[in-house]
Amino acid sequence: MDQEDQITTAQVTVVTVTYGSRQDMLEQMIDACQDNRITNFVVVNNGASWDVGVLRRRFQDCAIDIVDMLGNKGPAAGYSAGIQRALESERSDMLWLLDDDLAPEKACLENLLREYVVLIQTNPKECIAVLAARPEFVKALATDNSRRLMNPRKNTFLEFSVADIWYKVRKRLPWRHQERTQIEIPNTFQIQMAPYGGLLFHRSIVEHVGFPDSGFILYVDDYEYTHRITQSGGMIMLIPSAVLKELEPCWNSGLTHGSSFHAWLSGPDFRAYYTARNMTYFELHLRDSGGSSYYLNKYLYLVVLYAVALFSRRTARMRLLREAIKAGVGTRLGMDTRFPLP
C-alpha cells in the first residue's frame, strides 16, 4: 500500500449543521468524535437558539470553525455552506458529514477509513464515498429479505412499491421464519444513495459533483446529492462495522408510528409538505420514473393513505400532501412561504 494512500484522523474534518435548541445532542456528537480522535470541525449555525460560540470554550482541544447562516435556511443550504468552508482549509482532505443527532461509536472512524483505503486501491478518490451505518442498516443487512430494501426499486412513489408488499406483510407475521434466519454481514455493501449523516469522502468528490441543492430546503436533498455521486460513475459503500448511535428518532419513521401511512399523517405540516414535495420531485424527475408501474404505485398508495386519513380524521393533512405532490410533479422547489422553518 502506497504511503500516500494512508489517511489519518488529522486529515478528516467533520461538517455538521445545527439549529434550534440542540446543544446537548451536538455536544454529545463532538464528544464521540473526540473519542474517534477527530479535532477538526465545521459547525453551521442554522438558526440555533443558543450561543454556538460556547463550543470553542467547551472543546478547547478542537479546531471549531463556525458558519453563521443568520437563520434556518435548511440542511441543504447548511451543508453546502459547511462543505465550502471546510474546503478552504488545507487540512480538510477528507470530509465527514454528521448530523448533530448522530454520535459515532468507538472505532467508527477507524473502521470507516480502513475500508476506504482498501477501496481507493482500485478506484479513484473522486469516485468513492463511504457511509457509517446506523443500527437499522446493520440489522437490515443481517437478513436477506431486509437487505433487498436497502436500495429502492425504480418507479417507487413516496418510497412505496407494490413489489414490496409481500415482504412487508410477511415481516408482521408472528412466525417470520425467514426473517429470523441470520446471514453473514458483508464488510461493505454498495448503495445507490445515502443520508448525509455518516458520509465520508475526499474533497475531490465536490469538484466532481458540486454542492447540495439548496432548493430542496428540507429533506431528500441528501438523496439527491448522493444520487449525483452514483449517477456520475461513483460508488457509495456502506460500512457496517462503522456504527453510529442515533440520539433522536426520525420524525416520520415507520418504527415510531407503526406504518408509513400514520407517519405521513403525524408531525408538523412543514415537515410533511417538504418531504412529500421533494420525494415526489426526486423520484419522478431524477430517478427516471413515470412508467405504468410508477402510476400504479402512486394510485394504490394514495388510496390507502386517504382511507387511513379518513379513519384518523386527518383529511386536512391529505389536502396538504396533495398540494405537495402537485408541486413536486411541477418541479416547484424552494421555500414555500406558508411553511417557514423554525
Q: Per the domain annotation, does 148 fall within a domain? A: no
192 phi, psi to nearest 5 deg: -80, -35
Q: Do residues 52 and 164 both lie within one domain?
A: no
Please check whether residue 147 lies inside any domain of the structure: no
Among 201, 231, 246, which residue terminates a domain?
A: 246
pLDDT in tens, 227-246: 999 999 999 999 999 999 99
Domain interval for residue 65:
3-140+185-246
Domain-embedded: residue 145: no
Q: State whether 61 and 109 are in the same domain.
A: yes
Residues 122 and 223 in one domain: yes
Q: Is 97 a member of any domain?
A: yes
Choose the final residue of a domain: 211, 246, 281.
246
For the stretch 277-329, pLDDT in tens is 999 999 999 997 778 999 999 999 999 999 999 999 999 999 999 999 999 99
Same domain? For 230 and 217 the reply is yes
278 and 134 inside one domain: no
Q: Are residues 85 and 170 located together in one domain of the fold?
A: no
199 vs 97: CA distance, rounded Å: 5
Are both 100 and 204 inside the same structural domain?
A: yes
Same domain? 7 vs 49 = yes
Does an H or E element contain 202, and which? strand 199-202
pLDDT digits (tens, 9 = 90+) for 80-99: 999 999 999 988 999 999 99
Pair 106, 213 in one domain: yes
Check residue 169 and give its pLDDT: 65
Q: Are 58 and 31 in contact (CB under 8 A)?
A: no
| Choice between 121 and 152, residue whose per-residue pLDDT is larger | 121
Q: What is the pTM of this model?
A: 0.92
| Last residue in a domain, options 246, 272, 292 | 246
DSSP string, 243-293: EEEESS--TT-HHHHSSHHHHHTSS-HHHHHHHHHHHHHIIIIIS---SHH
Count the domains in the chain.
2
Same-domain pairing of 81 and 220: yes
Q: Please give the Cα distance from 305 to 270 (Å, whole number).
A: 18
The mean of the pLDDT values for the chain is: 91
**For the ranges 9-23, 180-194, 215-229, which has the lowest average pLDDT?**
180-194
Q: How far apart are CA 38 and CA 109, in angstroms?
A: 9
Residue 106 in domain:
yes
Same domain, 22 and 92: yes
Residue 111: CATH number of its domain: 3.90.550.10
Q: Residue 146 domain-assigned? A: no
Domain-embedded: residue 8? yes
| CB count in 10 Å sphere of residue 8 | 10
Whether residue 311 lies inside any domain: the answer is yes
At 125-166, the pLDDT tens digits run 999 999 999 998 998 888 876 777 788 888 999 999 998 877
Q: Are residues 209 and 314 in the same domain?
A: no
The residues, any chain, with a CB within 8 Å of residue 13's CB and separated by 6 or more, are: 40, 41, 42, 86, 89, 91, 92, 94, 95, 96
